[in-house]
Structure 1
Amino acid sequence: MEGSLIERRTIRKTMIRIVPLFGLFYFLSYLDRSNIGFAALTMNTDIGPSPAAFKPLAERLSETEPNGGIYRVRPDGNIQTVDSGYLVPNGIAFSPDRSYALTANTFAGDIYRYEMNPSTGDVGACSTFVSTAGLPGHADGGCFDSKGYYWSAMPYSSSIVRFAPDGVVDRVLQLPLPGPTMVAFGSNDTRTLFVTTAPDFIPKAQRAGFEEVGPVLRIEGIPENILDDTPFQAVGEPL
């Protein structure tokens, strides 16, 4: 009789302690599933993701269908489609005065300009900023300097191209490594340019010695008078 009482008490304590915990887990799981379902519905409506968006990078780079787009997340969390029809969108950067943004359509060979309202961030008309046909590589990651010039990394080459605000090529910098993918200014004086590289963009026959993962280059001492006719040759070293 005593053993039966102890057994009942044990089962009762176990139920009191475990069942509420399982109930809590079930409730949290239900909430999570609801949120995921809601997110799927809203995202499918707002940005229309396709199976192509989840393909490996190598497959996506070989595609010819313009499945890419530019999207803006508004302060209220809503997603706005700015533009579509891109092969591979890259290099989004905002001018120093925030009056326009540039975006590269990498394999289509164009860099587009989007007018913007600096106060609200609303996006206006789109126009072609420059065609990269005839330049080395394809426009990839990019950034502005303080004087409004746009620096664009050019994979499939060893070059960085600096465009004037009117789209004219200001200069082409040759790097000691192939496959630059992104550029950004840093350091306290903002006169140091950092460049990420990806030798995988270069055919194996042309990248002897660079089979390892691409290093980050640091180019120091970019002169203040770079807008003048003073010659400037990039000399970068791996970090």
Structure 2
Amino acid sequence: MEKLITVDGLTVTYNEKPVLWNVSTSIVENSITAIVGPNGAGKSTLIKSIMGMVEPLAGDIKINGQSPKKMFDQVAYVPQKSDVDWDFPTTVLDVVLMGRYVHKGWIKRYTKADVKRAEEALETMRMSDFKHRQISELSGGQRQRVFLSRAIAQDADIYIMDEPLQGIDVVTERLIMQTIHDLQQRGKTFVVVHHNLATVEKYFDHVIILNKEVVAQGTIEEAWTKENVATAYDESSVTL
């Protein structure tokens, strides 16, 4: 498979403290790639760097051969729930319509086609009955469904997701992963920060194991070993 995203020699510091150090990795087209590692490993920083949201100290990132800023309309982002202001007064449908914004050009008004696409995305995530609700009224699982709906409405080629399965119910987890696999069948590519080591092998076909540096990367068969995970987590052994 072709390399869709390439990261070369990425170094990121916060207050002169290294968060990522000389990271070189790649995401292959039409894959579902997990990024795993201990707290403070730089997982969120890596995906935010790919999104162009973080300015690196050194290194280069390309998405389909272009800079991240030139590919913003083809990359959909699902943030951590903690990064969202859930008290902001807006409805579910308004949030999902934001996924259409990148396609509007100089004319920023949403069309009937935009609304239809947003409603289709909500239907995919079984949230149609909630489209007029305020987002503050939703449960954790429902909120995550809304943000995946927004990403689906964008009609992007690449989906970058930060801990989408954290703190949600089992039904929503299954729905999210089924939707991801359905979209993969349509040629989409996923990069997912993931915390549950027990489900990596079940849900993903590629993995990047990270602890400020890349410990291992590749297909699940190649890279997902107890030894590699133990190295990343600074433990003598782990249970997968």
Structure with the greater relative contact order (CA < 8 A, sep ≥ 6): 1 or 2?
2
Which structure shows the bigger proportion of residues in strand conformation? 1
| TM more than 0.5 | no
Q: TM (normalized to structure 1)? A: 0.22
Q: TM (normalized to structure 2)? A: 0.22
